[in-house]
Structure 1
């Protein structure tokens, strides 16, 4: 797991894990979700990976565009 940089200082994201075809996002409230190339799809997952690496905008992107469209809840 990689710690999320949280450059805005207000993100709900704590950690993330990136693999070739997915991203797992761990939130400060203890929940974690798996997003992959099937759900929500290639373009959203690639954008989420990019935002995670930047440390800015991931939580906002999830809230605005992905919402509950995740492949699995991990915790």
Structure 2
């Protein structure tokens, strides 16, 4: 997994891994979630990948737009 840059300094995300049609996110609590094209959909996944790579805004985006609409809880 790639460490999340957390440029805003207040994110609850510690790392992520982008796949072709998915993104896996590890939160600072240790919980790991898979988001993919089936849930929450390609638009959200691609936006989340952009924010993850930018290192800012991902946690807020998930809270505003995705919430618990994930494909799987991995841990």
TM-score range (shorter-chain normalised) is: over 0.9
1:49 is aligned to 2:55: no
Q: Which runs of 5+ in 2 are unaligned?
A: none
Rounded Cα–Cα distance in structure 2 between residues aligned with 1:31 and 1:41: 21
* Coordinate RMSD, CA, aligned: 0.3
| TM-score (norm: length of structure 2) | 0.99
Runs of 4+ in 1 over 3 A off after TM superposition: none
Aligned residue for 1:43, secondary structure, equals helix
CA distance in 2: counterparts of 1:22 and 1:16, whole angstroms: 11
User: Could you tell me how far 1:46 is from its partner in structure 2?
Assistant: 0.2
Distance 1:59 1:26 in 2: 11
Q: Output one character per residue of 1:12-64: Cα deviation in whole Å (capped at 9) or x when no partner.
A: 00000001100000000010100000100000000000000000000000001
Partner of 1:6: 6
